[in-house]
Every structure is written in C-alpha cells, then in structure tokens.
Amino acid sequence: MSSTIQTETQTEIEAATFRRLIAHLDSRKDAQNIDLMNLAGFCRNCLAKWYSAAANEKGVDIDYEQAREKIYGMPYADWKEKHQTPANAEQKAAFEQDNKK
C-alpha cells in the first residue's frame, strides 16, 4: 500500500476519525470538560469553536451555538443540565495552574 493517500481518501479518513471522537466523547459524559482541558488542553467547547471556524472558512455559516449542538448532540444548555457537574477545588486549581503557563 502506498504511503501517499489521495486527498479525498484522507478527508474521508479524517472525517470518520472525527465522528468516532465525537461518538466516544458522547459515550463518556463522565469526562467533564474541565478534566479534558486539564489533561489534553482542549474540550468539547474547543471542538465546537474549531468546527464553527472551519465551516466559516468554507463559506458555511455555522455559529458557535450550532456547532456546540453538533458536538454535544443536543443543545448545550440541555447537556449542561443533564451531564455537567460542578468543578471541584482540585480541578479548578489544575485549570488555573495550566492557564498560567
């Protein structure tokens, strides 16, 4: 197999990977955004911002709230009410420490 991937095939692979990431995050609602930020430096909201920006670069008008609904699989307010837990002191401290860097 060639190490050179055709652009269309690469895009399809990347899209499938993205869909799998979103499905994985959806299956792990226990993984809170602050935990993702503390461990990986990005969260579901970051993905939504990137999604919106990429759409806008292609001339597709998707705002941040629409992108969050795509990433969360529901309106953000609903997800937050159903699945988000308050950040504890340790999570907040780790987040603050990381943001000082």
Given this model, what pLDDT does residue 19 score? Answer: 97
Planar angle of CA 45, 86, 89, nearest 5 degrees: 105
Query: From the CB of residue 71, how many other CB atoms can be counted at a distance below 10 Å?
Result: 23
pLDDT of 99 above 60 = yes
Given this model, what pLDDT does residue 1 score? Answer: 46
Given this model, what pLDDT does residue 4 score? Answer: 78
Domain encompassing residue 31: 7-99
Average pLDDT of the segment spanning 3-9: 84
Q: Which residues lie closer than 8 Å to 56 by C-beta, 6 or more apart? A: 62
Average pLDDT of the segment spanning 35-40: 95
Q: What is the CATH number of the domain that holds 31?
A: 1.10.3340.10
48 contacts 64 by C-beta, under 8 angstroms: yes
Q: For residue 48, tell me if it sits in a domain.
A: yes
Sign of CA dihedral 30, 26, 85, 90: positive
Q: For residue 44, tell me if it sits in a domain.
A: yes
Structural domains of the chain, count: 1
User: pLDDT tens digits for 59-69?
Assistant: 999 999 999 99
Separation CA 12–CA 5 (nearest Å)? 11
